[in-house]
Amino acid sequence: MSGSNFWVIGGEFGSMNFHKLVHGSAQVQGPFRTRKEAEDAWRVVSEENRHRGSVRFSIVEEPLRESA
């Protein structure tokens, strides 16, 4: 099998340097089969939190492993 899974990950960070998440604030959405689906989910969660400057979300690509 080839392709990738996509995930939307993020949450509230303790400072504006975005190095460490606030405990208990982590959010993970997915897997999504296409980047477009992940981008759509990212837009929704980003818009919901846009008034909170210390919240950030990213899209992460996970390559699928080939079966042996």
Residue 2 pLDDT exceeds 70 = no
Residue 3 pLDDT exceeds 80 = yes
4-42 residue pLDDT tens: 999 999 999 998 888 899 999 999 999 999 999 999 999
Rounded to whole angstroms, the Cα distance separating 35 from 41 reads: 10
Q: Residue 62: what pLDDT?
A: 93
- Model pTM score: 0.83
Q: Residue 66: what pLDDT?
A: 74
The pLDDT of 62-67, averaged and rounded, is 80
